[in-house]
Amino acid sequence: MSLNNISKWKYSNFLINKSYNFDRKRILKLIPSNLLLNSNKTISNWKNYKKTPLLKLEKLNRNLKLNNIFYKDESKRFHLKSFKALGGAYAVEKISKGKKNIIISSATAGNHGKSVAWGAQRLGLQCKIFVSQYVSETRVKEIEKFGADVIRVRGNYENSLNECKKLSKKNNWIIVQDVSTKNYSHVPLLTMAGYSIMIKEISKQTTHYITHIFLQAGVGGMAAGVVAGVAKYFKRIPKIIIVEPDGADCVMQSIKSKKLKKIKIKKESIMGGMSCNEMSLIPWHVLKKASDCCVTVNDSKVPKTVAMLKDKKLSKKTIIGGECATPGIISLISLCNNPKKKKLINLSEKSNVLVIGCEGNADIKLYRQLLSKGRK
Ligand SMILES: Cc1ncc(COP(=O)(O)O)c(C=O)c1O
């Protein structure tokens, strides 16, 4: 496997956001500054808290001829193997306010539920996690390891959420969800505040000004949390590039039509955590102005990227990056392969690009399959 092949990689779709206007004050009104400070203070005091590594993809950088490509390695986030550890578990702590006689519930595609289960276990609370038929057995086992009861629901994520709401209402369980709607925003805000810690850490891990950030989006929670972190902690504002699977491009479609758009997913992406059909409401209000552009990619380069990370083709060190950790790298390579787009978004030898390695081998069975396919 050589890096030469990457010169042929292509993205699926690209969109410039015509409503772009990064306004720190507006963003920190939507995701308040005091929440960001509190999440950082709380989480950095948890046992075994450590900044996750900010690695460099030196070999990829030599190939693409930028200044730096940084990779935030969230496979090392506590022992949960994804950035989601920062969100759900923190929300459980804030919402339970020291009470011991409550039961926490949530619906999940995997990583969020694991974080909620861990958060409940840390505090000695019972926990019920709802998953759809598409969530793998490996992910279910991972959640059960943290002491939660997992309830499988026929259908997709939306069905699992509806069942979670129904049973939680009936049994007085407290829902900790990461998706905000008109009448449900406080808990998702807490999760997003938790995610902003990645940027707080990066602001102390390099003296380079980051010029571009590639942000994976499912419902947009991670991207909005990171954007809030940028508004709060970075001196200079980088270009914000939203990355999605091409069959689950709800952010791109919403930005294109300047209103929240629900899309139809015809085929679930292998990037399961990002296979979402509708944005969370607060992330929509943040990203509709704070993102410079959107790019979508298909699943075809996911296995190869997993293998290249592991086999030190992109960096000097081996990196464990799961399926959702790959699309930032795939879209960076693809945009560099298109001279017009590369120029349009100012990618040059002066660029310090940040990609978020948002998960490690969180689904170990799928990871092994992708690795083996990518090495062929
Ligand atoms: C590993 C990983 N990356 C990215 C995402 C997308 O995050 P969001 O839905 O907050 O946009 C998820 C969501 O579950 C995830 O698990």
Q: Is 274 exposed, middle or buried (0-12, 13-18, 19+ CB in 10 A)?
A: buried
DSSP 3-state of 174: strand
| Helical pair 221-233 and 33-43, crossing angle rounded to 10 deg | 100
Domain with CATH 3.40.50.1100 in the chain: 3-83+191-374, 88-177
Minimal-distance CA residue to ligand 1 atom 15: 273
CATH number of 3-83+191-374: 3.40.50.1100
DSSP 3-state of 131: strand
Predicted confidence pLDDT, tens digits, the chain (376 residues): 568 789 999 999 999 999 999 999 999 999 999 999 999 999 999 999 999 999 999 999 999 999 999 999 999 999 999 999 999 999 999 999 999 999 999 999 889 999 999 999 999 999 999 999 989 999 999 999 999 999 999 998 889 999 999 999 999 999 999 999 999 999 999 999 999 999 999 999 999 999 999 999 999 999 999 999 999 999 999 999 999 999 999 999 999 999 999 999 999 899 999 999 999 999 999 999 999 999 999 999 999 999 999 999 999 999 999 999 999 999 999 999 999 999 999 999 999 999 999 999 999 999 999 999 999 9
Tell me if 202 sits within 8 A of 93, measured CB to CB.
no
Sheet holding 54-56, edge to edge: 13-16, 293-297, 239-245, 212-216, 352-357, 68-73, 54-56
Minimal-distance CA residue to ligand 1 atom 2: 273
Minimal-distance CA residue to ligand 1 atom 16: 273
Minimal-distance CA residue to ligand 1 atom 10: 221
The model's pLDDT over 137-169, given as tens digits with 9 standing for 90+, comes to 999 999 999 999 999 999 988 899 999 999 999
- How long, in residues, is the chain? 376
Confirm or reject: Cβ of 220 under 6 Å from ligand 1.
yes
Confirm or reject: Cβ of 82 under 6 Å from ligand 1.
yes
Six-digit token string for 355: 């990609």
- Alpha-carbon distances of 213 from 60, 320, 321, rounded to whole Å: 16, 20, 17
Residue 4 CA to ligand 1 centre (angstroms): 30
Please name the helix (run of DSSP H) or strand (run of DSSP E) that holds residue 138, with its range, or none.
helix 137-144
CA-221 nearest atom, ligand 1: 10
Domain 88-177 fold: Rossmann fold (3.40.50)
This prediction's pTM: 0.97
HSE, side-chain direction, 13 A CA sphere, residue 216: 28
Residue 19 CA to ligand 1 centre (angstroms): 24
